[in-house]
Amino acid sequence: MGRNDIVADGSTGYIISFSIKLNIDRLAGASCPDFSGYVQSVTAHELGHVFWLADNPPNTASLMNQNRDKSVIKTPQAYDYANVNAIY
């Protein structure tokens, strides 16, 4: 439903630029009573990748879980914050 394109410096790994793109056709076809919240959840998930968070952490509530309830989990969860803190 979304994707991001990250350009990183090959020697430092620092992000030079990124863009987030949403597939509006897939989002519009999703059965969700809160469309704007669904868009927020997908956008926030893609932004998580900019912070080097991986998809589908095991057995936890996470914005990075692709099977999350997108009408409920729209912002980073405790697990996501802990991962960002561990990386940085």
Write down the domain spans for the chain: 2-87
Res 24: pLDDT: 78
Please give the model's pTM, rounded to 2 decimal places: 0.83
Res 32: pLDDT: 65
- Give the number of other CB atoms < 10 A from CB of residue 61: 14
CA nearest neighbour of 46 among 1, 81, 3, 10: 3
The owner of tokens 């980073």 is 76
Q: Which residues of the chain have pLDDT under 50?
A: none
Res 37: pLDDT: 85
